[in-house]
Amino acid sequence: MGETIEKAMKRAKSQEQKGLTYSYDMLGEAACTKQDAQRYFLSYSDSITEIAKAKLSDDIRENPGISIKLSALHPRYETLNKQRAMDELVPRVTSLAILAKSAGIGLNIDAEEAGAT
């Protein structure tokens, strides 16, 4: 929809006025380093704040939301590092979920790269 959350929301506005809602996703996220993961975490936090400006209702199903990728929030999101990944991912995801809840928007977890274990 756009190269930034602001551009995507501007482009989606006419469709939202017709009753459609979006769960915004940032393409290409995959953290290779701790710094990447921190940058994605901050980007998700900023996007939640921006998306909250488009809140239309107290019912989150009627508001735009965000999709977050677990692989963007941790550079070693893999079975060999399961405990470390969980120890570091859970607080990050919880923080984003609390922020989305307080903003009145939905949060979807995109974990399609996760294999069944």
- Domain span including residue 86: 5-110
Residue 115, domain member (yes or no): no
Residue 11, domain member (yes or no): yes
Residue 116, domain member (yes or no): no
Residue 117, domain member (yes or no): no
* pTM greater than 0.75: yes
C-alpha distances out from residue 28 to 1, 36, 55, 60, Å: 14, 12, 26, 26
Q: For residue 114, is pLDDT > 80?
A: no
Number of structural domains the chain divides into: 1
* Structure tokens given for 42: 């901050």
Residue 63, domain member (yes or no): yes
Which CATH number fits the domain that encloses residue 20?
3.20.20.220
What pLDDT is attached to residue 105? 95
pLDDT in tens, 15-67: 877 877 878 887 766 888 999 999 999 999 999 999 999 888 999 988 999 99
* Structure tokens given for 15: 């469709």
